[in-house]
Amino acid sequence: MLDKNYKAAEVEAAIYAEWEKSGAFACHPDSKAASYTIAMPPPNVTGSLHMGHALTFTLQDILIRWRRMQGRDALWQPGTDHAGIATQMVVERELALEQTDRHKLGREKFIERVWQWKEQSGSTITRQLRALGASPDWSRERFTMDEGLSAAVRKVFVTLYREGLIYRDKRLVNWDPVLHTGISDLEVENIETKGSLWHIRYPVEGTDRHIVVATTRPETMLGDSGVAVHPEDERYQDLVGKFVILPLVGRRIPIVADEYADPKTGSGAVKITPAHDFNDFEVGKRHDLALINIFDRDAKLNDAVPEAYRGMDRFAARKKIVADLEALGLMEKIEPHTLQVPHGDRSGAVIEPWLTDQWYCDAKTLAQPAIASVEQGKTVFVPKTWENTFFEWMRNIQPWCISRQLWWGHQIPAWYGPDGKIYVAETEAEAQAQAGAGVTLARDSDVLDTWFSSGLWPFSTLGWPDETKELKRYYPTDVLVTGFDIIFFWVARMMMMGLHFMRDVPFRTVYIHALVRDERGQKMSKSKGNIIDPLVLIDKYGTDALRFTLTALAAQGRDIKLAESRVEGYRNFVTKLWNASRYAEMNECKLVAGFDPSSCKMTVNRWIVGALAEAAANVTDALEAFKFNEAADALYHFAWGTFCDWYVEFTKPILTGTDEAAKAETRAAAAWVLAQTAHLLHPIMPFVTEVLWREWTGGRDGLLMVKVWPRYAFAVDRDAVAELDWTVTLIAKIREVRAEMNIPGAAELPAFVAAQAQQREWIARHLDQIKRLARLKSVEFATPATKMIQIGADGAELFLDAAGAVDLDQEKARLAKEKGAIEIELGKIDQKLGNAQFMAKAKPEAIEEQRERQAEKQAALDRVGAALARLGA
């Protein structure tokens, strides 16, 4: 006998262990079944499960479990990402606690230390994925720095280099002066900041005129190598080609005409600092201005500036420069100004555009096939609107800076000879061979952007560059499930790399889900303190409740605002299901081998198996279309609203009755429907359904997770549906009237019925149920002589004998109100049907529908009228 409540916390770990031990998570490369593949977006090895993970992995697990039950050879490829900067920072923090740092340790020892950390702590996230119930093929778990994946990275790098798609270049890079590395545009967060706009007067050489330039970063003036004005700006026509003398520095720099200068902003003239601003860099290139680097790697002023400023931090220098300019009377004015300040997404430091040698990937070339593939529908985004986002990014893609000045990551397979000549090769030996024996080589100390290796994930995890059978079988993957925040970081890169190296898209479908936000719609973040920890919810309500909640809220194209009350509500749903099973068990509803749902004779059973079949079809359709919330909704309403609320209540009299044949059929049908419901719920709520399945089968029939997904050949019995719907409506109406008339719930009232043959038959068949659920003492087929409460149902009139407990004036008022409501409805319909335009132009179905409604309402009106007449109103 089941306990009264399901205790998720006590059973989940054991159930999971059983699944994992059974081998049911594994793919079968030699199977004849069609494959179904999802490459799991590898969480950072430093990560711990947050709500976004919980959502994305729940949805992926639903798809995988569902397809697996459908008989597909499902591969959910798991793994973790080495997460260069993030991981290095974690270990560096540890070192700081030990009063040391990576430089004292040296590169080799430091990397050893990171690996150690990875061995000890790197499994946190995978352990938490297990708590979530995720069912990937753990035997195939990969790590982006595994030997195999590293070999793939080297091969890709070397190949792209030889194809000219990777190259070394001196350009401005987003420099993080705290982490001492360049980062890609995507890793930069622009934060709106209140600052100032300083207007500085630059003296024009050989005149007593000044030209005023406005800047948000006065300290960079030390690196100015020009002033730009708009070519059509009349104010400065005569100055173009002349020079200004840069204050504080004394450098003579040209005034150039360039459209970058906006005549409407400030004075219309801008200072140009080509070495420290991306726009200025371009202007400088056009006019051949000098690149004057004034910062060191800490963003402190270097020796290229006047002595007074050397070694100063950029922000301290700003103050001093402003003060010095004011002292010289060269500060025209200072205005408050809000601007976007670039920050490193990891360090939070203000990013400095800095001139360095970096490795770049020619993303523009690689992007073309990716764009074409989406245009041609080889890869489809769901919802489709995200394709615009993808195109927008891909069509304006910039060279991708792939080198990072870090230690943790894939070291770039490039070596330099004493003369600076570059040798790129997969191994040092090859590079040596290229250079010739005896040439001393030094390896490039940089590592690759983490996204470089994760871009290979869909094929590197399958064994590429070896032509493994897994690669052949599981690439391209079927669907990628991810959030829109990494369309650029990851989806785009996988598309580029996959198409280039595999000659095919990495996935057929990209399902983009929402971001999980808090109740107020705010992004969850540590600083806001609004984080809801999925593990806390799991402890409190069980994994299934959390999974069901996320599924029910995962409507396409919307952010998810998560309220804990929803989780609680769906925990209640788990309990409801549990107790329905408990009820079934108490009534000896046992699974019957070979039960054929279409063989049911009783209407109520024919009805419930039909309703189940319909729910099953709805769930399948919803999953096919990635409409997770609709699948959850269909199951919730079938299980609770149909099965528990009506079928269970309806069959109670049968199960406690004496008709053995009826009992047997009902028990078998109830058990079957419940078990099928568990099948349908399993992908969303794997734990409780597995526990119940074991309870019903005694563990003799294997695991639910490998059972066949429901699909039925039998047709829904429409007559049974009509009969039950009518009966349910009748009961609901009686209950409604009773409540309205304040008839005590316990009072059992005699009833009389005047009905057509069909309805008489229906009432007779479900007499016990109607009496029980509507609290009737007796039902007599006759029209009563006295005045009573009167309830109309289609084809029947039911009279309730409240025996003086009810004031007939009250009943008259009730009927009058009902009449009024019907008249309003009928009026609207009459108006519509009386509209010549409507009759001429509306679809025939729409007209027919209105006619039917008109007839319905008219009949109801007649009935209420007759009832009122009988009461003498």
Partner RNA sequence: GGGCGAUUAGCUCAGCGGUAGAGCGCCUCGUUUACACCGAGGAUGUCGGCGGUUCGAUCCCGUCAUCGCCCA
Q: By the criterion CB under 7 A, which residues form the site for RNA?
A: 4-5, 185-186, 190, 340, 385, 388-389, 392, 485, 517, 519-523, 553, 555-559, 561, 563, 565-566, 568-569, 571-572, 574-576, 579-580, 582-583, 586, 629-630, 633, 640, 644-645, 648-649, 652, 656, 732, 735-736, 739-740, 744-746, 828, 832, 835, 837-838, 840-843, 846, 849-850, 853
**Which residue has tokens 């785009």?**
492
Measured from the CB atom, is 126 or 727 closer to RNA?
A: 727
Which of left, alpha, beta for 608 (phi over 0: left; psi -120 to 50: alpha)?
alpha
Measured from the CB atom, is 168 or 828 closer to RNA?
A: 828
- B/e letters for 738-775, b = 16+ CB within 10 Å, e = fewer, are beebebeeeeebbbbbebeeebeebbeebeebbbbbbb
Measured from the CB atom, is 320 or 561 closer to RNA?
A: 561
Measured from the CB atom, is 92 or 630 closer to RNA?
A: 630
Question: In the bound complex, what is the minimum distance in angstroms from residue 113's beta carbon to RNA?
Answer: 33
Measured from the CB atom, is 278 or 714 closer to RNA?
A: 278
Question: In the bound complex, what is the minimum distance in angstroms from residue 550's beta carbon to RNA?
Answer: 12
**Which residue has tokens 């199951």?**
635
- For the chain, counts of helices (H) and of strands (E): 30, 29
CA distance 163 to 141: 32
Which among 775, 769, 779, 776 is positioned nearest to 728, based on CA atoms?
769
Which among 291, 410, 346, 402 is positioned nearest to 176, based on CA atoms?
346
Measured from the CB atom, is 407 or 636 closer to RNA?
A: 636
Measured from the CB atom, is 785 or 840 closer to RNA?
A: 840
**Which residue has tokens 């109607």?**
770
CA distance 334 to 215: 10
Asked if 605 contacts 669 with a C-beta cutoff of 8 angstroms, the reply is yes
Measured from the CB atom, is 736 or 761 closer to RNA?
A: 736
What is the radius of gyration, based on Cα positions, of the chain?
37
What is the helix (H) or strand (E) element at residue 321, kind and residue range? helix 314-327
Determine how β-strand 79-80 pairs with β-strand 796-800: unpaired
Residue ranges of alpha helices (H) inside 210-308 are: 278-287
Question: In the bound complex, what is the minimum distance in angstroms from residue 872's beta carbon to RNA?
Answer: 27
Measured from the CB atom, is 622 or 796 closer to RNA?
A: 622
Measured from the CB atom, is 431 or 648 closer to RNA?
A: 648
Residue 593: CB atoms within 10 A of its CB come to 7
Measured from the CB atom, is 2 or 316 closer to RNA?
A: 2
Cα angle 757, 759, 761; round to 5? 70
Measured from the CB atom, is 9 or 308 closer to RNA?
A: 9
Measured from the CB atom, is 168 or 652 closer to RNA?
A: 652
Question: In the bound complex, what is the minimum distance in angstroms from residue 10's beta carbon to RNA?
Answer: 12
Question: In the bound complex, what is the minimum distance in angstroms from residue 696's beta carbon to RNA?
Answer: 15
Question: In the bound complex, what is the minimum distance in angstroms from residue 480's beta carbon to RNA?
Answer: 19
Determine how β-strand 243-245 pairs with β-strand 252-257: antiparallel
Measured from the CB atom, is 652 or 787 closer to RNA?
A: 652
Question: In the bound complex, what is the minimum distance in angstroms from residue 585's beta carbon to RNA?
Answer: 9
Cα separations in angstroms, 851 against 96, 179, 242, 322, 826: 80, 74, 86, 82, 11
Helix (H, G, I), strand (E, B) or coil at 526: coil
Residue 17: CB atoms within 10 A of its CB come to 11
Question: In the bound complex, what is the minimum distance in angstroms from residue 359's beta carbon to RNA?
Answer: 20
> Rounded to 5 degrees, what are φ and ψ at 396?
-115, 25
Question: In the bound complex, what is the minimum distance in angstroms from residue 481's beta carbon to RNA?
Answer: 18
Question: In the bound complex, what is the minimum distance in angstroms from residue 179's beta carbon to RNA?
Answer: 19
Which among 263, 252, 259 is positioned nearest to 287, based on CA atoms?
259
Largest CA distance in the chain: 119
Measured from the CB atom, is 110 or 583 closer to RNA?
A: 583
Residue 612: CB atoms within 10 A of its CB come to 26
Measured from the CB atom, is 16 or 488 closer to RNA?
A: 488
Question: In the bound complex, what is the minimum distance in angstroms from residue 650's beta carbon to RNA?
Answer: 10
40 token code pair: 């799991």
Question: In the bound complex, what is the minimum distance in angstroms from residue 560's beta carbon to RNA?
Answer: 7
670 token code pair: 């109830």
Residue 43: CB atoms within 10 A of its CB come to 24
Determine how β-strand 442-443 pairs with β-strand 414-416: antiparallel
Question: In the bound complex, what is the minimum distance in angstroms from residue 586's beta carbon to RNA?
Answer: 6
| Residues in a beta bridge with 753 | 798
- B/e letters for 556-589, b = 16+ CB within 10 Å, e = fewer, are beeebebeeebbebbbebbbbbbbbbbbbbebeb
Residue 413, preceding bond cis, omega within 30 degrees? no
